[in-house]
Amino acid sequence: MTDLVRDVRIRGRRIRVAVRPGDGRPLVLCNGIGASLDLLQPFVDRLDPSIPVIRFDVPGVGGSELPRLPYTFASLACTVGRILDDLGHDEVDVLGISWGGGLAQQFALQNPRRCRRVVLVSTATGSLMVPAHPRVLSKMATPRRYRDPAYAASIAANLYGGRFRDEPALAKEFLQGHSRPASGRGYALQLLAGVGWTSLPFLPMIRQPTLILAGDDDPLIPIANPKLMNRLLPHSSLHIYPEGHLGLVTHAHDLAPRVAGFLRQKDG
């Protein structure tokens, strides 16, 4: 089913949104840093077509305009709520990957009635977490990997792990073929939003059923992080799979049905 791509105006600024129609409660996807909504297309293609899907470009990324002022995860969660108001959805499920996992946690905290279930993929608790190696983190300082295919291939193994260790050329397919690059300022604003933010103190307050998905070869998110989140989130389950940071797209054939099964579970 073809997604309907449209612009939503929030506080006078254009936000690019893609909606896959379906029956029932939509799944909102929150993407990683520097990536446009297109990056998750392989996952959406594998997800049960009856599940409606809402994707959006963060301000300053892909087809969304730069914001007038810097934002925080808390204010961006409010923006997501306004997007849903515009689309006419009262209750949703939310999935966040990597940087977008922080946004998903914040959205779940701020919207305990609007957000029914949460899926957290390749993500952690923000500034208070078990960090990646400094050599890995240094490669996240700019969005160059989305613009330079040769550079993306050269760092893919050490940055993303998993299949990229044996197939570095996949970086071109996923990072350039499935994503529009963020502007330099847009990327910087995403980095800034994460400075000082942590979900560690409020994880026990997220009461929604939560599925945590983690690759066992993720250089960016050491496995201790999802294990800690699983202990602190009161209604969570953890699934560790044999892949790296971008397993949601490279391992979509396994993870998409798992996510669909979790979303179809009855509450209570």
The one-letter code for the residue type at 70 is P
**Which residues are annotated as catalytic?**
98
The pLDDT of residue 201 is: 97
Model pLDDT for residues 228-255, shown as the tens digit of each residue? 999 999 999 999 999 999 999 999 999 9
95 — pLDDT class (breaks 50, 70, 90)? very high
pTM: predicted TM-score of the whole model, two decimal places: 0.97
4-128+181-264: CATH homologous superfamily?
Answer: Alpha/Beta hydrolase fold, catalytic domain (3.40.50.1820)
The pLDDT of residue 32 is: 95
The one-letter code for the residue type at 207 is R
Q: Domain boundaries in the chain?
A: 4-128+181-264
* Residue 127 C-alpha from the chain's centroid: 17
The pLDDT of residue 268 is: 67
Q: Give the residue ranges of DSSP H helices in the chain.
A: 41-46, 73-87, 99-110, 134-138, 149-160, 170-171, 184-194, 224-232, 247-250, 252-264
Based on C-alpha coordinates, what's the Rg of the chain? 17
